[in-house]
Chain A
Protein backbone atom coordinates (compact mmCIF):
# COMPACT_ATOMS: atom_id res chain seq x y z
CA UNK A 1 0.00 0.00 0.00
CA UNK A 2 2.65 2.47 1.12
CA UNK A 3 5.05 1.26 -1.56
CA UNK A 4 2.54 1.70 -4.34
CA UNK A 5 1.57 5.16 -3.05
CA UNK A 6 5.25 6.11 -3.05
CA UNK A 7 5.73 4.77 -6.57
CA UNK A 8 2.56 6.56 -7.66
CA UNK A 9 3.77 9.96 -6.43
CA UNK A 10 7.12 9.52 -8.20
CA UNK A 11 5.52 8.48 -11.46
CA UNK A 12 2.99 11.29 -11.26
CA UNK A 13 5.69 13.93 -10.79
CA UNK A 14 7.83 12.44 -13.57
CA UNK A 15 4.76 12.27 -15.82
CA UNK A 16 3.83 15.92 -15.17
CA UNK A 17 7.43 16.94 -15.84
CA UNK A 18 7.52 14.96 -19.10
CA UNK A 19 4.16 16.26 -20.29
CA UNK A 20 5.04 19.81 -19.28
CA UNK A 21 8.34 19.76 -21.14
CA UNK A 22 6.87 18.15 -24.29
CA UNK A 23 3.96 20.62 -24.43
CA UNK A 24 6.26 23.55 -23.72
CA UNK A 25 4.64 24.56 -20.41
CA UNK A 26 7.99 23.85 -18.82
CA UNK A 27 10.73 25.18 -21.04
CA UNK A 28 13.11 22.31 -21.85
CA UNK A 29 15.88 24.88 -21.94
CA UNK A 30 15.54 25.46 -18.20
CA UNK A 31 13.88 22.30 -16.94
CA UNK A 32 15.29 19.63 -19.23
CA UNK A 33 13.31 16.60 -20.31
CA UNK A 34 13.13 13.45 -18.18
CA UNK A 35 13.73 11.10 -21.10
CA UNK A 36 16.81 13.03 -22.21
CA UNK A 37 18.13 13.09 -18.64
CA UNK A 38 17.63 9.33 -18.47
CA UNK A 39 19.45 9.01 -21.78
CA UNK A 40 22.44 10.96 -20.44
CA UNK A 41 22.61 8.77 -17.35
CA UNK A 42 22.25 5.63 -19.45
CA UNK A 43 25.04 6.84 -21.70
CA UNK A 44 27.33 7.60 -18.72
CA UNK A 45 26.94 4.16 -17.25
CA UNK A 46 26.77 2.45 -20.68
CA UNK A 47 30.10 3.82 -21.84
CA UNK A 48 31.52 3.82 -18.31
CA UNK A 49 32.50 7.47 -18.68
CA UNK A 50 31.00 8.32 -15.29
CA UNK A 51 33.16 5.94 -13.24
CA UNK A 52 36.38 7.99 -13.04
CA UNK A 53 34.34 11.02 -11.96
CA UNK A 54 32.29 9.11 -9.43
CA UNK A 55 35.44 7.48 -8.13
CA UNK A 56 37.05 10.88 -7.57
CA UNK A 57 33.99 12.34 -5.83
CA UNK A 58 33.55 9.35 -3.55
CA UNK A 59 37.26 9.16 -2.73
CA UNK A 60 37.22 12.82 -1.75
CA UNK A 61 34.14 12.23 0.38
CA UNK A 62 35.64 9.28 2.21
CA UNK A 63 38.98 11.01 2.78
CA UNK A 64 37.30 14.14 4.08
CA UNK A 65 35.08 12.05 6.31
CA UNK A 66 37.95 9.95 7.70
CA UNK A 67 40.35 12.83 8.31
CA UNK A 68 37.65 15.10 9.74
CA UNK A 69 36.41 12.38 12.08
CA UNK A 70 39.85 11.43 13.39
CA UNK A 71 40.85 15.07 13.94
CA UNK A 72 37.45 15.87 15.50
CA UNK A 73 37.68 12.94 17.93
CA UNK A 74 41.22 13.84 18.98
CA UNK A 75 40.49 17.54 19.40
CA UNK A 76 37.20 16.80 21.18
CA UNK A 77 38.84 14.41 23.64
CA UNK A 78 41.69 16.81 24.27
CA UNK A 79 39.56 19.87 24.93
CA UNK A 80 36.87 17.85 26.68
CA UNK A 81 39.42 16.63 29.19
CA UNK A 82 41.14 19.99 29.68
CA UNK A 83 38.36 22.49 30.38
CA UNK A 84 40.86 25.33 30.83
CA UNK A 85 42.28 25.03 27.34
CA UNK A 86 38.76 24.75 26.09
CA UNK A 87 37.76 27.94 27.91
CA UNK A 88 40.72 29.77 26.36
CA UNK A 89 40.05 28.54 22.83
CA UNK A 90 36.27 28.76 23.03
CA UNK A 91 35.78 32.09 21.15
CA UNK A 92 38.04 30.94 18.31
CA UNK A 93 36.21 27.65 18.01
CA UNK A 94 32.87 29.42 17.96
CA UNK A 95 34.09 31.86 15.31
CA UNK A 96 35.53 29.10 13.14
CA UNK A 97 32.28 27.17 13.40
CA UNK A 98 30.13 30.22 12.67
CA UNK A 99 32.09 31.05 9.52
CA UNK A 100 30.35 29.95 6.29
CA UNK A 101 33.07 27.50 5.42
CA UNK A 102 31.96 26.89 1.86
CA UNK A 103 33.54 30.21 1.06
CA UNK A 104 36.92 28.72 1.95
CA UNK A 105 36.80 26.65 -1.25
CA UNK A 106 38.56 29.30 -3.41
CA UNK A 107 41.28 29.69 -0.80
CA UNK A 108 41.78 25.94 -0.60
CA UNK A 109 41.93 25.83 -4.40
CA UNK A 110 44.77 28.36 -4.27
CA UNK A 111 46.57 26.54 -1.49
CA UNK A 112 46.11 22.95 -2.58
CA UNK A 113 45.48 23.27 -6.33
CA UNK A 114 42.53 22.04 -8.36
CA UNK A 115 43.12 18.37 -7.52
CA UNK A 116 41.54 16.24 -4.83
CA UNK A 117 43.39 17.83 -1.91
CA UNK A 118 41.41 21.07 -1.99
CA UNK A 119 38.12 19.11 -2.01
CA UNK A 120 39.17 16.95 0.90
CA UNK A 121 40.17 20.12 2.76
CA UNK A 122 36.73 21.67 2.37
CA UNK A 123 34.96 18.47 3.40
CA UNK A 124 37.32 18.23 6.36
CA UNK A 125 36.34 21.65 7.70
CA UNK A 126 32.67 20.68 7.48
CA UNK A 127 33.05 17.25 9.11
CA UNK A 128 35.54 18.31 11.76
CA UNK A 129 33.23 20.64 13.66
CA UNK A 130 30.29 18.25 13.68
CA UNK A 131 32.43 15.48 15.13
CA UNK A 132 34.31 17.84 17.44
CA UNK A 133 31.20 19.24 19.09
CA UNK A 134 29.67 15.79 19.45
CA UNK A 135 32.80 14.40 21.10
CA UNK A 136 32.99 17.41 23.41
CA UNK A 137 29.39 16.76 24.43
CA UNK A 138 30.06 13.05 24.82
CA UNK A 139 33.03 13.66 27.12
CA UNK A 140 31.05 16.15 29.21
CA UNK A 141 28.15 13.78 29.60
CA UNK A 142 30.08 10.74 30.73
CA UNK A 143 28.23 9.47 33.78
CA UNK A 144 30.25 10.35 36.90
CA UNK A 145 29.08 7.09 38.45
CA UNK A 146 30.44 5.02 35.58
CA UNK A 147 33.65 7.02 35.75
CA UNK A 148 34.06 6.50 39.50
CA UNK A 149 33.09 2.85 39.26
CA UNK A 150 35.69 2.28 36.56
CA UNK A 151 38.32 4.06 38.63
CA UNK A 152 37.43 1.83 41.57
CA UNK A 153 37.96 -1.20 39.34
CA UNK A 154 41.56 -0.09 39.02
CA UNK A 155 41.55 1.67 35.66
CA UNK A 156 44.54 3.94 35.05
CA UNK A 157 44.09 7.34 33.41
CA UNK A 158 44.99 5.80 30.07
CA UNK A 159 42.51 2.98 30.58
CA UNK A 160 39.81 5.47 31.52
CA UNK A 161 40.46 7.29 28.28
CA UNK A 162 40.37 4.10 26.25
CA UNK A 163 37.49 2.34 28.00
CA UNK A 164 35.23 5.16 29.20
CA UNK A 165 35.81 8.49 27.48
CA UNK A 166 36.43 7.11 24.00
CA UNK A 167 33.39 4.80 23.83
CA UNK A 168 31.18 7.52 25.35
CA UNK A 169 32.44 10.04 22.80
CA UNK A 170 32.20 7.59 19.91
CA UNK A 171 28.56 6.90 20.65
CA UNK A 172 27.92 10.58 19.95
CA UNK A 173 30.07 10.46 16.83
CA UNK A 174 28.12 7.49 15.51
CA UNK A 175 24.83 9.18 16.20
CA UNK A 176 26.00 12.08 14.01
CA UNK A 177 27.40 9.81 11.31
CA UNK A 178 24.58 10.50 8.85
CA UNK A 179 25.16 14.23 9.10
CA UNK A 180 28.93 14.08 8.89
CA UNK A 181 29.04 11.71 5.90
CA UNK A 182 26.50 13.95 4.20
CA UNK A 183 28.65 17.00 4.93
CA UNK A 184 31.78 15.33 3.56
CA UNK A 185 29.84 14.67 0.35
CA UNK A 186 28.54 18.23 0.17
CA UNK A 187 32.06 19.57 0.72
CA UNK A 188 33.48 17.43 -2.07
CA UNK A 189 30.78 18.30 -4.60
CA UNK A 190 30.72 22.04 -3.84
CA UNK A 191 34.51 22.28 -4.08
CA UNK A 192 34.41 20.42 -7.40
CA UNK A 193 31.74 22.73 -8.65
CA UNK A 194 33.79 25.77 -7.72
CA UNK A 195 36.86 24.62 -9.62
CA UNK A 196 38.20 21.22 -10.58
CA UNK A 197 39.23 18.96 -13.44
CA UNK A 198 37.36 15.83 -12.40
CA UNK A 199 34.42 14.59 -10.37
CA UNK A 200 30.64 14.71 -10.70
CA UNK A 201 30.63 18.34 -9.56
CA UNK A 202 32.96 19.11 -12.45
CA UNK A 203 30.59 17.41 -14.92
CA UNK A 204 27.77 19.60 -13.68
CA UNK A 205 29.93 22.70 -13.95
CA UNK A 206 30.90 21.85 -17.55
CA UNK A 207 27.33 21.15 -18.60
CA UNK A 208 26.13 24.37 -17.02
CA UNK A 209 28.76 26.29 -19.01
CA UNK A 210 27.19 25.13 -22.30
CA UNK A 211 23.60 25.41 -20.98
CA UNK A 212 23.15 21.64 -21.19
CA UNK A 213 20.49 21.44 -18.50
CA UNK A 214 19.77 17.76 -19.13
CA UNK A 215 23.31 16.87 -18.10
CA UNK A 216 23.09 19.11 -15.05
CA UNK A 217 19.98 17.24 -13.93
CA UNK A 218 21.61 13.92 -14.75
CA UNK A 219 24.53 14.87 -12.50
CA UNK A 220 22.12 15.80 -9.72
CA UNK A 221 20.33 12.46 -10.05
CA UNK A 222 23.61 10.54 -9.92
CA UNK A 223 24.75 12.54 -6.87
CA UNK A 224 21.44 11.91 -5.11
CA UNK A 225 21.69 8.17 -5.77
CA UNK A 226 25.23 8.24 -4.52
CA UNK A 227 24.21 10.04 -1.32
CA UNK A 228 21.46 7.47 -0.72
CA UNK A 229 23.97 4.63 -1.08
CA UNK A 230 26.37 6.32 1.35
CA UNK A 231 23.54 6.85 3.79
CA UNK A 232 22.52 3.21 3.59
CA UNK A 233 26.13 2.25 4.25
CA UNK A 234 26.11 4.42 7.36
CA UNK A 235 22.95 2.72 8.59
CA UNK A 236 24.59 -0.68 8.24
CA UNK A 237 27.70 0.50 10.11
CA UNK A 238 25.52 2.04 12.80
CA UNK A 239 23.59 -1.14 13.43
CA UNK A 240 26.78 -3.08 13.90
CA UNK A 241 28.62 -0.53 16.05
CA UNK A 242 25.83 0.62 18.33
CA UNK A 243 24.36 -2.72 19.44
CA UNK A 244 24.80 -1.63 23.03
CA UNK A 245 22.51 1.35 22.76
CA UNK A 246 18.90 1.09 23.81
CA UNK A 247 16.30 1.34 21.10
CA UNK A 248 12.57 1.43 21.13
CA UNK A 249 12.33 -2.05 19.66
CA UNK A 250 14.90 -3.91 21.76
CA UNK A 251 13.41 -6.45 24.13
CA UNK A 252 14.26 -6.09 27.80
CA UNK A 253 14.26 -8.80 30.41
CA UNK A 254 12.25 -8.25 33.53
Chain B
Protein backbone atom coordinates (compact mmCIF):
# COMPACT_ATOMS: atom_id res chain seq x y z
CA UNK B 1 0.00 0.00 0.00
CA UNK B 2 1.36 3.43 -0.88
CA UNK B 3 1.58 5.95 1.88
CA UNK B 4 -0.86 8.86 1.73
CA UNK B 5 1.99 11.15 2.60
CA UNK B 6 5.67 10.29 2.42
CA UNK B 7 8.47 12.60 3.50
CA UNK B 8 11.70 10.81 2.65
CA UNK B 9 15.11 11.98 3.90
CA UNK B 10 14.01 15.60 3.94
CA UNK B 11 16.24 18.37 5.19
CA UNK B 12 15.18 22.01 5.44
CA UNK B 13 17.70 24.81 5.88
CA UNK B 14 16.92 28.50 5.95
CA UNK B 15 19.10 31.43 5.01
CA UNK B 16 21.86 29.35 3.40
CA UNK B 17 24.77 30.84 1.45
CA UNK B 18 26.23 33.12 4.11
CA UNK B 19 27.42 30.53 6.58
CA UNK B 20 24.47 31.36 8.83
CA UNK B 21 22.24 28.57 7.58
CA UNK B 22 19.76 27.32 10.14
CA UNK B 23 18.76 23.70 9.71
CA UNK B 24 15.21 23.29 10.96
CA UNK B 25 14.67 19.68 9.96
CA UNK B 26 17.38 17.16 9.22
CA UNK B 27 17.24 13.77 7.42
CA UNK B 28 13.69 13.12 8.37
CA UNK B 29 11.61 10.27 7.03
CA UNK B 30 7.95 10.30 7.96
CA UNK B 31 5.22 8.22 6.31
CA UNK B 32 1.53 8.53 6.96
CA UNK B 33 -0.41 5.46 5.83
CA UNK B 34 -3.79 5.86 4.15
CA UNK B 35 -6.48 6.27 6.77
CA UNK B 36 -3.93 6.62 9.56
CA UNK B 37 -4.08 9.21 12.32
CA UNK B 38 -0.46 10.10 13.00
CA UNK B 39 0.59 12.58 15.68
CA UNK B 40 3.97 14.20 15.89
CA UNK B 41 5.04 15.50 19.30
CA UNK B 42 8.14 17.43 20.17
CA UNK B 43 9.38 20.25 22.35
CA UNK B 44 8.33 23.81 21.54
CA UNK B 45 10.20 25.39 18.64
CA UNK B 46 11.50 22.11 17.26
CA UNK B 47 10.39 22.60 13.66
CA UNK B 48 7.11 20.71 13.86
CA UNK B 49 5.33 23.30 11.74
CA UNK B 50 8.11 23.08 9.16
CA UNK B 51 7.19 19.43 8.61
CA UNK B 52 3.58 20.38 8.02
CA UNK B 53 4.49 23.16 5.62
CA UNK B 54 6.54 20.63 3.67
CA UNK B 55 3.58 18.28 3.49
CA UNK B 56 1.35 21.18 2.44
CA UNK B 57 3.71 22.24 -0.31
CA UNK B 58 3.99 25.72 1.18
CA UNK B 59 7.69 25.01 1.64
CA UNK B 60 10.04 22.96 -0.56
CA UNK B 61 12.65 20.75 1.11
CA UNK B 62 16.31 21.70 0.68
CA UNK B 63 16.99 18.00 0.23
CA UNK B 64 14.83 14.91 0.01
CA UNK B 65 11.41 14.29 -1.43
CA UNK B 66 7.79 14.68 -0.56
CA UNK B 67 5.29 12.32 -2.13
CA UNK B 68 1.52 12.53 -1.94
CA UNK B 69 -0.44 9.36 -2.69
CA UNK B 70 2.48 8.02 -4.64
CA UNK B 71 3.21 11.16 -6.71
CA UNK B 72 6.01 13.64 -6.13
CA UNK B 73 4.62 16.90 -4.75
CA UNK B 74 5.18 20.07 -6.72
CA UNK B 75 3.70 23.32 -5.53
CA UNK B 76 0.69 23.38 -3.25
CA UNK B 77 -0.62 20.03 -2.05
CA UNK B 78 -4.11 19.96 -3.57
CA UNK B 79 -4.99 16.69 -1.84
CA UNK B 80 -4.53 18.10 1.63
CA UNK B 81 -6.55 20.32 3.91
CA UNK B 82 -4.62 22.42 6.43
CA UNK B 83 -5.96 23.41 9.82
CA UNK B 84 -3.82 26.24 11.16
CA UNK B 85 -3.01 27.00 14.75
CA UNK B 86 -3.84 30.70 14.51
CA UNK B 87 -6.88 32.37 13.00
CA UNK B 88 -6.94 31.69 9.30
CA UNK B 89 -10.48 32.68 8.37
CA UNK B 90 -10.88 35.60 6.00
CA UNK B 91 -12.09 38.34 8.36
CA UNK B 92 -14.12 40.03 5.60
CA UNK B 93 -16.22 36.95 4.94
CA UNK B 94 -19.01 35.59 7.11
CA UNK B 95 -18.64 32.08 8.54
CA UNK B 96 -20.74 30.70 5.71
CA UNK B 97 -18.83 32.51 2.98
CA UNK B 98 -15.55 31.38 4.52
CA UNK B 99 -16.68 27.77 4.32
CA UNK B 100 -18.00 28.35 0.80
CA UNK B 101 -14.65 29.78 -0.33
CA UNK B 102 -13.01 26.47 -1.27
CA UNK B 103 -15.87 25.22 -3.45
CA UNK B 104 -16.09 28.68 -5.02
CA UNK B 105 -12.39 28.70 -5.88
CA UNK B 106 -12.90 25.27 -7.44
CA UNK B 107 -15.47 26.80 -9.80
CA UNK B 108 -18.76 25.87 -8.14
CA UNK B 109 -21.64 28.31 -8.41
CA UNK B 110 -22.21 30.58 -5.45
CA UNK B 111 -25.51 28.88 -4.63
CA UNK B 112 -24.02 25.38 -4.69
CA UNK B 113 -21.02 26.50 -2.63
CA UNK B 114 -23.27 28.09 -0.02
CA UNK B 115 -25.44 25.01 0.17
CA UNK B 116 -22.37 22.85 0.82
CA UNK B 117 -21.19 25.40 3.37
CA UNK B 118 -24.49 25.33 5.25
CA UNK B 119 -24.40 21.54 5.40
CA UNK B 120 -20.90 21.64 6.91
CA UNK B 121 -21.73 24.42 9.33
CA UNK B 122 -24.47 22.11 10.60
CA UNK B 123 -22.05 19.22 10.99
CA UNK B 124 -19.58 21.23 13.06
CA UNK B 125 -22.33 22.63 15.25
CA UNK B 126 -22.55 26.13 13.80
CA UNK B 127 -26.11 25.97 12.52
CA UNK B 128 -27.59 29.44 12.55
CA UNK B 129 -24.20 31.15 12.93
CA UNK B 130 -23.41 31.33 9.22
CA UNK B 131 -24.01 35.07 8.95
CA UNK B 132 -21.50 35.92 11.69
CA UNK B 133 -18.14 37.40 10.89
CA UNK B 134 -15.02 35.90 12.49
CA UNK B 135 -14.67 38.77 14.95
CA UNK B 136 -18.19 38.07 16.21
CA UNK B 137 -17.37 34.44 17.03
CA UNK B 138 -15.57 32.88 19.99
CA UNK B 139 -12.28 31.04 19.57
CA UNK B 140 -14.06 27.69 19.63
CA UNK B 141 -16.57 28.77 16.99
CA UNK B 142 -13.79 30.05 14.77
CA UNK B 143 -12.02 26.70 15.08
CA UNK B 144 -15.22 24.93 14.09
CA UNK B 145 -15.60 27.21 11.09
CA UNK B 146 -11.99 26.53 10.11
CA UNK B 147 -12.66 22.80 10.39
CA UNK B 148 -15.75 23.11 8.18
CA UNK B 149 -13.82 25.27 5.72
CA UNK B 150 -11.20 22.54 5.37
CA UNK B 151 -13.52 19.51 5.37
CA UNK B 152 -16.03 20.90 2.86
CA UNK B 153 -13.43 20.19 0.16
CA UNK B 154 -13.24 16.55 1.34
CA UNK B 155 -9.44 16.30 1.15
CA UNK B 156 -8.03 12.77 1.56
CA UNK B 157 -5.24 14.19 3.75
CA UNK B 158 -5.59 16.45 6.78
CA UNK B 159 -2.69 18.49 8.12
CA UNK B 160 -3.26 19.93 11.57
CA UNK B 161 -0.92 22.33 13.32
CA UNK B 162 -1.72 22.40 17.04
CA UNK B 163 -5.24 23.34 16.01
CA UNK B 164 -6.74 23.35 19.49
CA UNK B 165 -3.86 24.80 21.50
CA UNK B 166 -5.48 28.22 21.88
CA UNK B 167 -8.74 26.84 23.28
CA UNK B 168 -9.70 26.39 26.91
CA UNK B 169 -9.56 22.85 28.28
CA UNK B 170 -13.27 22.01 28.08
CA UNK B 171 -13.72 23.36 24.56
CA UNK B 172 -10.58 21.55 23.58
CA UNK B 173 -11.78 18.14 24.78
CA UNK B 174 -15.09 18.68 23.04
CA UNK B 175 -13.41 19.67 19.77
CA UNK B 176 -11.07 16.67 19.96
CA UNK B 177 -14.01 14.32 20.38
CA UNK B 178 -15.84 15.93 17.48
CA UNK B 179 -12.76 15.70 15.31
CA UNK B 180 -12.50 11.98 16.10
CA UNK B 181 -16.18 11.46 15.37
CA UNK B 182 -15.88 13.23 12.01
CA UNK B 183 -12.73 11.27 11.18
CA UNK B 184 -14.23 7.89 12.16
CA UNK B 185 -17.50 8.64 10.41
CA UNK B 186 -15.89 9.31 7.02
CA UNK B 187 -15.30 6.54 4.48
CA UNK B 188 -12.64 6.14 3.42
CA UNK B 189 -10.96 7.51 6.50
CA UNK B 190 -8.74 10.52 5.98
CA UNK B 191 -5.03 10.34 6.58
CA UNK B 192 -4.14 12.78 9.31
CA UNK B 193 -0.83 14.36 10.23
CA UNK B 194 -1.43 16.03 13.56
CA UNK B 195 1.21 18.22 15.16
CA UNK B 196 1.06 19.01 18.85
CA UNK B 197 3.21 19.55 21.89
CA UNK B 198 0.54 18.03 24.10
CA UNK B 199 1.34 14.37 24.65
CA UNK B 200 -2.07 13.48 26.10
CA UNK B 201 -3.79 14.93 23.09
CA UNK B 202 -1.49 13.00 20.75
CA UNK B 203 -2.08 9.66 22.46
CA UNK B 204 -5.82 10.00 22.83
CA UNK B 205 -6.35 10.89 19.17
CA UNK B 206 -3.79 8.83 17.26
CA UNK B 207 -2.96 5.46 15.79
CA UNK B 208 0.73 6.24 16.07
CA UNK B 209 2.84 8.88 17.83
CA UNK B 210 6.22 10.05 16.55
CA UNK B 211 8.57 11.93 18.89
CA UNK B 212 10.83 14.60 17.45
CA UNK B 213 14.18 15.64 18.87
CA UNK B 214 14.80 19.16 20.15
CA UNK B 215 15.75 21.72 17.49
CA UNK B 216 17.72 22.78 15.56
CA UNK B 217 18.12 19.95 13.04
CA UNK B 218 15.06 18.16 14.32
CA UNK B 219 14.50 14.53 13.39
CA UNK B 220 12.23 11.75 14.62
CA UNK B 221 13.81 9.72 17.42
CA UNK B 222 11.09 7.28 18.40
CA UNK B 223 7.66 6.11 17.41
CA UNK B 224 4.94 4.35 19.34
CA UNK B 225 1.89 2.52 17.97
CA UNK B 226 -1.18 3.42 20.02
CA UNK B 227 -3.24 0.29 20.45
CA UNK B 228 -6.10 1.84 22.37
CA UNK B 229 -9.56 0.66 21.23
CA UNK B 230 -11.74 2.89 19.03
CA UNK B 231 -14.14 4.61 19.12
CA UNK B 232 -12.58 6.63 21.91
CA UNK B 233 -13.71 9.35 24.23
CA UNK B 234 -10.69 11.56 24.64
CA UNK B 235 -11.51 12.41 28.25
CA UNK B 236 -12.34 8.89 29.41
CA UNK B 237 -9.52 7.14 27.59
CA UNK B 238 -7.05 9.08 29.71
CA UNK B 239 -8.18 7.18 32.82
CA UNK B 240 -7.32 3.74 31.41
CA UNK B 241 -4.16 1.94 32.61
CA UNK B 242 -3.01 1.30 29.01
CA UNK B 243 -3.11 5.04 28.26
CA UNK B 244 -1.03 5.83 31.31
CA UNK B 245 1.43 3.11 30.44
CA UNK B 246 1.86 4.54 26.93
CA UNK B 247 2.13 8.02 28.30
CA UNK B 248 4.93 7.01 30.66
CA UNK B 249 6.88 5.27 27.91
CA UNK B 250 6.58 8.16 25.45
CA UNK B 251 7.23 10.79 28.10
CA UNK B 252 10.48 9.06 29.13
CA UNK B 253 11.72 9.76 25.58
CA UNK B 254 10.13 13.16 25.17
CA UNK B 255 11.29 14.45 28.57
CA UNK B 256 14.96 14.44 27.59
CA UNK B 257 14.20 16.45 24.45
CA UNK B 258 12.08 18.93 26.34
CA UNK B 259 14.93 19.38 28.81
CA UNK B 260 17.42 19.91 25.98
CA UNK B 261 15.14 22.49 24.38
CA UNK B 262 14.73 24.21 27.72
CA UNK B 263 18.47 24.33 28.38
CA UNK B 264 19.14 25.63 24.86
CA UNK B 265 16.54 28.30 25.45
CA UNK B 266 18.13 29.26 28.80
CA UNK B 267 21.59 29.38 27.26
CA UNK B 268 20.40 31.64 24.44
Binding site for B on A (CB under 8 A): 143, 145-146, 148-156, 159, 163-164, 167-168, 171, 243-246, 250-254
Lowest 5 A-B CB distances belong to which pairs?
A149-B88, A246-B135, A153-B102, A167-B92, A152-B82
Q: How many residues of B contact A (CB 8 A)?
A: 35
A252 near B86 with CB under 8 A, answer no
9-residue interface stretch from B14-22, B24-32, B73-81, B218-226: B73-81
Prevailing SS type, chain B contact patch: loop
- Shortest Cβ gap from A230 to chain B (Å): 25
From residue A31, how far is it (CB to closest CB) to chain B in Å? Answer: 50
A154 and B137 in contact (CB under 8 A), knowing A148-B82, A148-B88, A149-B82? no
In the complex, chain B residues 109-162 whose Cβ is within 8 Å of any chain A Cβ: 129, 132-138, 141, 146, 149-150, 153
User: Do residues B84 and A149 form an inter-chain contact, with CB atoms below 8 A?
Assistant: yes
Q: Are B82 and A171 closer than 8 Å at their CB atoms? A: no
A146: contacting residue among B77, B90, B94, B150, CB under 8 A: B90
Are B135 and A145 neighbours in the complex by a CB distance under 8 Å?
Answer: no
Residues of B within 8 A of A155 (CB): 101, 105
B58: chain A residues at CB < 8 Å are 148, 151-152
Residue of A at shortest CB range from B94? A244
State whether B105 touches A152 (Cβ < 8 A).
Answer: no
B88 touches A156 (CB 8 A): no
Report yes or no: B101 in contact with A153, Cβ–Cβ below 8 A: yes
Instruction: State whether A145 touches B86 (Cβ < 8 A).
Output: yes
Q: Other CB < 8 Å A-B pairs besides A148-B58, A155-B105, A163-B101, 7 of them?
A: A148-B88, A152-B81, A155-B101, A168-B92, A252-B135, A252-B138, A253-B141
- B141 / chain A contacts, CB cutoff of 8 Å: 253
Residue in A149, A167, A250 whose CB lies within 8 Å of B135: A250
| Chain A residues near B91 (CB-CB < 8 A) | 146, 244-245
A152 near B56: Cβ-Cβ < 8 Å: yes
Q: How far is the CB of A138 from chain B (nearest CB, A)?
A: 11
Residues in chain A near residue B93, CB distance under 8 A: 244
Question: Contacts A145-B84, A246-B135 hold; do A159 and B105 have CB atoms under 8 A apart?
Answer: yes
Report the minimal beta-carbon distance from B94 to chain A, rounded to whole angstroms: 8
Could you tell me if A243 and B133 are in contact, using CB atoms closer than 8 angstroms?
yes
B5 proximal to A (CB < 8 A): no
A125 CB, nearest partner CB in chain B, Å: 29
| Binary contact readout B37-64 vs A (1 if CB under 8 angstroms, 0 otherwise) | 0000000000000000000101000000
Q: How far is the CB of A22 from chain B (nearest CB, A)?
A: 57
**Alpha-carbon distance between A168 and B92 when the two chains are bound, in angstroms:** 8
Q: Closest residue to A241 on the B side, CB-wise?
A: B92
B80 neighbours in A (Cβ, 8 Å): 152
Which residues of B have CB within 8 Å of A251?
136
Sampled A-B contacts (24; CB under 8 Å): A143-B87, A143-B88, A145-B84, A145-B86, A145-B88, A148-B56, A148-B84, A149-B84, A151-B58, A152-B82, A153-B150, A154-B106, A155-B105, A156-B105, A163-B105, A164-B90, A168-B92, A171-B92, A244-B93, A244-B134, A244-B135, A246-B135, A253-B136, A253-B138
* Contact assessment for B105 and A253 in the assembled complex, using a CB-CB cutoff below 8 Å: no
On chain B, the residues within 8 Å of A156 by CB distance are 105
Residues of chain B contacted by A151 (CB below 8 angstroms):
58, 76
Minimal beta-carbon separation of A141 from chain B (angstroms)? 12
Interface centre among B80, B92, B102, B153 (most CB of A within 10 A): B92
Q: Give CA–CA (A233, B227) in the complex, Å.
A: 65
Residues of B within 8 A of A154 (CB): 76, 78, 102, 105-106, 153
Q: How far is the CB of A140 from chain B (nearest CB, A)?
A: 16
